[in-house]
Chain A
Amino acid sequence: MAEFLVGAAAFILAMVALGLLRILRGPGDADRIMAAQLLGTGGIAAVLLLGTANAERATLDVALTLALLAAFAAFAFVKAKLAQTPGESRTADGP
Chain B
Amino acid sequence: MNLFLDLWTVVAVVAGAFFFFAGTVGLLRFPDSLTRLHALTKADTLGLGLVVLGLLPQMDSVSAGLKLMCIWLLLLLSGATAAQWIARTLRQGNPGP
Contact = CB atoms under 8 A, between A and B. Distances in A.
A29 B12 CA distance: 33
Interface string B1-32: 00000100110011011001101100110000
Contacts of B47: 12, 41, 45
Closest 4 A/B residue pairs (Cβ): A71-B78, A74-B82, A78-B85, A41-B44
Q: For this complex, into which size category does the number of interface residues on chain A fall?
A: 35 or more
A33 B86 CA distance: 9
Contacts of A75: 82, 85
Given A30-B33, A37-B79, A64-B70, 10 more contacts: A8-B51, A12-B20, A22-B28, A30-B37, A38-B44, A41-B79, A42-B44, A49-B55, A64-B74, A87-B92
Contact of B40 (A37, A60, A81): A37
Q: For the complex, would chain B's binding face be called helix, strand, loop or mixed by DSSP majority?
A: helix
A45 B67 contact: no
A34 B20 contact: no
Given A19-B24, A30-B89, A87-B92, A8 B17 contact: yes
A71 B44 CA distance: 14
